[in-house]
Amino acid sequence: MARDRVLVTGVSGFIAKHVVLELLREDFDVRGTVRANSRAEEVRAVVRAHGGDAVRCEFVEADLGSQDGWSHAAEGCRYLLHTASPFPLVQPRRPEQLVELASRGTERVLRAASRAGVERAVVTSSVAAVFYGHPRDRMRAFDESDFTNLASRSVSPYARSKTVAERTAWDVARETGLSLSTINPGLVLGPVLDSRLGTSAQLIASMMKGRIPLLPDVAIPSVDVRDVARAHVRAMLALEAGRRFLLAAPDTPSFLQLSAFLAEAFPDRRRRLPKHRLPSALIRLGALVSPGAAMLADDLGRSKRVDTSPARDVLGIDFRSAREAVVALGESLIRYRCV
């Protein structure tokens, strides 16, 4: 009996590699998109190293910035997991480029999936499409009904791109009738699977190398990448679609607390890890000219609560703690000699 095939876009990404392993464990075949075919062997190596069957993975070349390749990529796939999206460590000066790439790329992928008869799509969004531009005195937890307010000046180019791309996904789904859910994770921590680091892993690696002496007074909800991967596959198979699933660990430590968790777990690196807070006044001053600082300024001194009950009740996700996730990330960075 033939296995169902799942199209995973941006298959060489941090989240996507975990998604591929989860799909293989659940007995699906995988077709992954890469911007260059040279990245395909990187994914095969990860699959083999972590006990997966690389023979059940195939790869096609497709780029979010081009129409080419997407119809071929979606052909013969029952499901789509759209994880590909730009996530810059430094916020660009021309945000419209990032927004256009994310939104138009999402539209291209979903329309190709609809034409190919894909049964359900799951799009990787972010809490960045949920959190920003809301009143600071807000008391209730953020839930799936909340979207980032694009009229606010505090919305960074990245948050804008994720919000516009997700709204585009829902528009396309309504127009085409494609069954859709989105996954909206917090800061994604947890183990890397090779030495190629995503943005969140780069941040923790820089802390462990002693390159970040001070940390802002910020506590962003985070989540383990293994929980994110499991949520993608379960949302793909869930009886209930049309949902946004916000993902976050039960605890929301500050960046300084994450650093303390790493210092406790890796005492030989304690001296390099940041122990002091960056003055908030400097961040607020920088927010006048820097989109990245503006995003941080919106989070200063706040602990945003997230309603993860849909992920727990519908998808059955039992979230790992932020401490477990960041320590697992630290262990993997040491294993792959990234720090």
Q: What is the CATH number of the domain that holds 22?
A: 3.40.50.720
330 against 137, higher pLDDT: 330
**Sign (positive/negative) of CA torsion 15, 18, 20, 23?**
negative
Take residue 202 and report the two structure tokens written for it: 């780069």
pLDDT at 95: 63
Decide if pLDDT at 303 tops 90: no
Q: How many domains does the chain have?
A: 1
pLDDT at 86: 58
Q: Which residues contact 302 (CB under 8 A, 6 or more apart)?
A: 136, 218, 219
Q: Is 162 a catalytic residue?
A: yes
Of 314, 321, 206, the C-alpha closest to 259 is 206
pLDDT at 96: 76
> pLDDT digits over 268-293, tens only?
999 999 999 999 998 888 877 776 67
> pLDDT digits over 146-167, tens only?
999 999 877 888 899 999 999 9
User: 3-state DSSP call for residue 235?
Assistant: helix
* Angstrom distance (rounded) from CA 114 to CA 96: 27
> pLDDT digits over 95-140, tens only?
677 788 889 999 999 999 999 999 999 999 999 999 999 988 888 9
Of 122, 76, 82, the C-alpha closest to 102 is 82
pLDDT at 294: 72
Q: Which domain holds residue 253?
A: 5-335
User: 3-state DSSP call for residue 277?
Assistant: strand
Q: How confident is the model at residue 25 (pLDDT cuts 50, 70, 90)?
A: very high
Out of 17, 162, 209, 304, pick the active-site residue.
Answer: 162
Take residue 6 and report the two structure tokens written for it: 């799942």
Decide if pLDDT at 33 tops 60: yes
Q: Is 313 left (phi over 0), alpha (psi -120 to 50) or beta?
A: alpha
Whether the pTM exceeds 0.85: the reply is yes
H helices of 28-156, where?
A: 38-49, 70-74, 95-115
pLDDT at 1: 62
Q: Which helix (H) or strand (E) segment is 122 a member of?
A: strand 120-124
